[in-house]
Every structure is written in C-alpha cells, then in structure tokens.
Structure 1
Amino acid sequence: MFRSSLAALLLASVSANAWAGAPAASAAAATGLIAHRAVYDLELKDASDRSGIAGMYGRMVYEFDGSYCQGFTTNFRFVTQINTGDSVRVSDQQTTTFENLKDGKFTFDTKSFTDDQLDKEVNGAAQDQPGGVKVDLKQPANRELQLAESRFPTEHMLDVIQNAKDGKRFFEARVFDGSDDGDKALVTTTIVGKQQTPVAEEADAGNAGAFSKTAFWPVTIAYFNENAKSDALPVYRMSFKLYENGITRDLTMDYGDFVLTGKLAKLELLERKAEVCK
C-alpha cells in the first residue's frame, strides 16, 4: 500500500514531458565518478509463499571503469544459490555494458545461466536521437526499436548524485539499461534522503576503506513499467547508500515476492589514467 500510494503521488506530480530536453551529463560531473570493483554478499531477507523460495544467498560483483572521454564500462555478475525446498539451483547473470556520454551511445550484453547452462542472452546497442532512443537488438531476436527519450544508466546515476547535491528529494526519469529482453525503458521514481554520516552499527561501512566515515545519501529507486497505472506496484525497487563518487553499499533489492540484502564485503579502487578530451 505504501509503495503504490507513493508512486501515484510522484507520477501525478510530474508531467508527461518531464524527460524532454534533459541535459546531457557534463564532463565535470562524470569525472567525479571513481573507477572501482565492489563485492557484495547477498542474503534473503524475506520471501512470500508465492515466491517458492525457501532459502537464497549469493554474491554480486560490480566493476565500473572508464572516463567521460573514453566512455564507461560496467561489468556485473550476480550469482545466487536458490533453495525451493524440493531442489537447489544456481543462477548466474553476467552483464557487460559500455556507455559513451559524449555521443549518447550505449551497448549491452547479458548472459543468464542456470546450473552452468545458458538460458538466455540479450545484447544490442542504443543511440540517443532527437526525441527518442533507437535500439538495435541482436539477441534474443534481431529487431530495431524506437523508444521514448530515456536516460542510460551512468547518466541516471549522475542525475541522482546531482539532485542529491542540490537537495532535490524526489524526481522521476525514464531509464533504458538493456535489461529483461532489451526492448523497453522503465519509468523510475527516486527518493533521496538527507546526507548522513555512518554510525558504528553499520556493519559494511568499515569495508568501504577510505570512505568508511564519508557522508552518504540514502536513496530508493522504484522501477515501473512504462504503461503502468498510477496505483501499480513497482516491478522492482532498490534502496542503497550512495557516495558522491558513485560507490554504493548496504543494498536492499525488493522484487515483490522476495527481498535480498547486499552488504559491501570488499572495495577495490581501480587506477585511471589521466587524459585530455579531444
């Protein structure tokens, strides 16, 4: 009830043209993002009877590298062991994306495995165009799509950080990240809390290394289908603690029928060579 009421409030407060003319991410803002590899330990927090999940745990590895000049590469791996009570299976999702902020280009490739067997592959490329996004899909089927104007993932992260710095607590955006079948964008509503400093009880704060005592923003992003009714529940909701440099920790991933937590287990900063944009 709380989620649907909140979503309806946010959707009603923003016009249908809220995304039109969204400014391109600036080089100055993008240089604030830190190249890093983060490892998260995943645990099942809650599961409904309908989910069919008796137990679940795993690990997520997120690697972010690149620059405004060369583009940003993300490598993401999400491995979980799922116990249904009758059987146990291992799910493994591997995703690589590349985002060129200067040219408005985004490529994506996701492979999903169950017990080491490939179940699904989705890959393609998207390009910003006046008034929309053109998507060229290669897998699971060769298709060309025209979608409404959308933000790509790094653009959206920069929007979240900028809004947090500006004290803007609620905002909405349409985001295309190539997930699911790579053929649609999702409408997102973002709630940004007041900046906070870690307290001693936060178990994974110490694993943030040099940032263990750095201030962060609590952020919640809900993802909705494009044509969802105003009282619809989100497809997916994620809460996390966000640093100004793009690093996140203390994740909660709500899929509706089950909820996972992700605690930062290890953080490694990656070297990035200085460069001059041409």
Structure 2
Amino acid sequence: MRATRLAFHAVLLSALLPTGAAVAAPALQAHRAVYDLTLKKADDRSGITGITGRMVYEFNGSACEGYTVKFRFVTQIATNDNTKLTDQQTTTFEDAEGKTFSFVTKSFVDQNLDKEVKGMATKDAKGLKVDIDKPEKNSLELAATQFPTQHLVELIGKAEKGENFYQTNLFDGSEDANKVMTTTVVVGKKSEADKADPEAPALAKLATDKYWPVDIAYFDDSAQNGEEVPEYRISFKLHENGITRDLVMDYGDFSMTGKLVNLSLFDQTKPCPVSK
C-alpha cells in the first residue's frame, strides 16, 4: 500500500515554497486526524473481497521550525483465501527551508516487522541526494524535487490563484525511498460546505469552511513500460489550512475510501521572529 503519499500528502498527506519564492506560505493547521477506511471497489484481478481499517495522521510544526508528520495506516485485507493485517508507521521531518527531509517507515504484516526504511534526503546543486540507513546503507542521486509539505503549500497556493491543472514532482521517502514521482494535479472550484456532510460532526467548528475538491495522479518516471498510466491516484477535499478529508485512494485494481471521524486541532506555534 502506498499510503504515505496521502500526507501529501499528504494527503495525504507533508515546508515552504522553494527558496527565493516571494509568496508567503499559508498558515498550516497543526492537527491530528483520524479516518475510517473501507473498500470502495475491487476487480477480480486484485483478489480482494474486503478492506477495513484506520488511518491516523498527525501534523506539527511551523514555517520557522520545520514540520513533523507522524502517520499510521492499519488495514485488515480479506481475500478468498485468507485475511491479512497490515500496519504501516511513518515519521518524517522536513526542515523549514525545504532542504532536508528525514524519514523512517516500519511496515508490519500480522504484527511481525516486514520492512524498515530509514534515511535522509538533502537538496544540493545537482538535485537530490538520498542517504539510506535501512534496510541497508546506500546513497542515491535523484532529480531535483519537492518534499511533501512543500508540495502541499504549492497546491494551496495554486488553488487560491484559481489554477486548476498543473504538474509537479515529489519525494516522500515511501516504499524503497529510491524514486521521485511526477504528480498531475487537478483542482476544482472552491465549494461551499454542505450541512448534510457526513464528516461535519468530526469537523466541528470547521464544518462551515469552504474547500477545494482535488485529484492527484502519481506517475513513476523510472518505470520503463511505455504507458502513461498512473501508479495510483487520490482525490480529497482540501481546506485552506491544509486539512484534508473525504479521501478516495485508487490503486487501479482496487480502491478505498477514508472518512474523517475525529479531528483534534493543536495550538499554533508563535509566529516566526522577524529579523531586524
């Protein structure tokens, strides 16, 4: 499951615009969001007959301190033959200037550690250098790219300007932390809140806020299959403070939904000190 990309994700889903940008970063809300996961559809090729689970996404930090994301994605996947419990736990830190990104992901299957990926990505004049500590030491040189919170900030900025379609790239340390993904982003018109929205109780005081409908397709440029087919795609509702909800994660032969069921808003850190 390529769930970490919701932390856009962000999703879902997670720094500033690239150095030198003359645009102020939006005030991203520090928060903890809990989503219930259910199977939306699955074709015969997937072999999946059911999915239930929960996703917890915790976002902290500021434009002067950097951003920390803690992410947990637990699913119980049923097939015709058996049932499997997967548990993915990720922690990342993105520095305030968007130059370094540290990540560690532990993946468990039926409560047994299946894989651990740990490393640090650093931007330099040539592009992106990735130093991997686990599962084994390795260093990679990848194309210049953004990190997750930069990606989110860029998305909000373009949505506020009314830009409905653009392409950009992303490195989030997911899977084997060995590639940059190209993302194609479609942003819909800012929409009014619906009083009958099933996520309204969890949103509480944010239930009347407007949002943008967003769809992101992720492409693996390193794949030599000659087909412009996304690895997967996600759609969600995006609030201007960075909170995402009403998730749909489409992996091709199956898809699942993520419904926001609990939202805790953390106190915002003090504004960055102004240099004199």
Q: Judge same fold: TM > 0.5, yes or no.
A: yes
Matched, 1:85 2:80: yes
> Matched residues in 2 for 1:230 and 1:213: separation?
45
Which one of 178, 187, 203 corresponds to residue 208 of structure 1?
203
Aligned AA for 1:155?
Answer: Q
- Superposed CA deviations along residues 188-241 of structure 1, whole A, max 9, x for unmatched, are 000000000122342113321211010000000110001456742111100000
SS of 1:271's partner is coil
> Matched residues in 1 for 2:255 and 2:176: separation?
22
Where do residues 40-79 of structure 1 align in structure 2 (5 Å cutoff)?
40-79=35-74
User: In structure 1, what is the equivalent of residue 13 of structure 2?
Assistant: none
Q: Post-superposition shift, 1:26?
A: 6.2
> Matched residues in 2 for 1:74 and 1:122: separation?
16
User: In structure 2, what is the equivalent of residue 129 of structure 1?
Assistant: 124
Do the aligned residues in 2 keep the contact of 1:24 with 1:101 (CA within 8 Å)? no
Query: Which blocks of at least 5 consecutive residues in structure 2 are unaligned?
Result: 1-16
Matched, 1:244 2:222: no
Alignment RMSD: 1.8
Q: Post-superposition shift, 1:113?
A: 0.3
> Matched residues in 2 for 1:147 and 1:247: separation?
29
Aligned AA for 1:59?
Answer: R
Where do residues 104-115 of structure 1 align in structure 2 (5 Å cutoff)?
104-115=99-110
TM-score (normalizing by structure 1): 0.88
Matched, 1:164 2:131: no
Identity of aligned residues (%): 50
- Superposed CA deviations along residues 163-194 of structure 1, whole A, max 9, x for unmatched, are 00011111111100001100111000000000
> Matched residues in 1 for 2:19 and 2:143: separation?
16
Matched, 1:183 2:215: no
Q: Once structures 1 and 2 are overlaid, which stretch shifts more, 22-31 or 213-222?
A: 22-31
Q: Post-superposition shift, 1:27?
A: 9.8
User: In structure 2, what is the equivalent of residue 193 of structure 1?
Assistant: 188
User: In structure 1, what is the equivalent of residue 169 of structure 2?
Assistant: 174
User: In structure 2, what is the equivalent of residue 268 of structure 1?
Assistant: 264
Query: Which blocks of at least 5 consecutive residues in structure 1 are unaligned?
Result: 1-21
> Matched residues in 2 for 1:58 and 1:120: separation?
20
> Matched residues in 1 for 2:175 and 2:98: separation?
24
Structure 1 86/218 Cα, relative in aligned 2: closer, same or farther at 3 Å?
A: same
Do the aligned residues in 2 keep the contact of 1:30 with 1:67 (CA within 8 Å)? no
Aligned AA for 1:261?
Answer: T
User: In structure 2, what is the equivalent of residue 235 of structure 1?
Assistant: 231
Q: Post-superposition shift, 1:52?
A: 1.2
Which one of 206, 217, 230 corresponds to residue 222 of structure 1?
217
Q: Post-superposition shift, 1:275?
A: 4.7
Q: Post-superposition shift, 1:141?
A: 2.1
User: In structure 1, what is the equivalent of residue 9 of structure 2?
Assistant: none
Structure 1 31/194 Cα, relative in aligned 2: closer, same or farther at 3 Å?
A: closer
- Superposed CA deviations along residues 116-152 of structure 1, whole A, max 9, x for unmatched, are 1000111100111124111101112211111111000
Q: Once structures 1 and 2 are overlaid, which stretch shifts more, 27-36 or 239-248?
A: 27-36
Q: Once structures 1 and 2 are overlaid, which stretch shifts more, 59-68 or 228-237?
A: 228-237
- Superposed CA deviations along residues 100-128 of structure 1, whole A, max 9, x for unmatched, are 13251100000000111000111100111
**Greater helix content:** 1
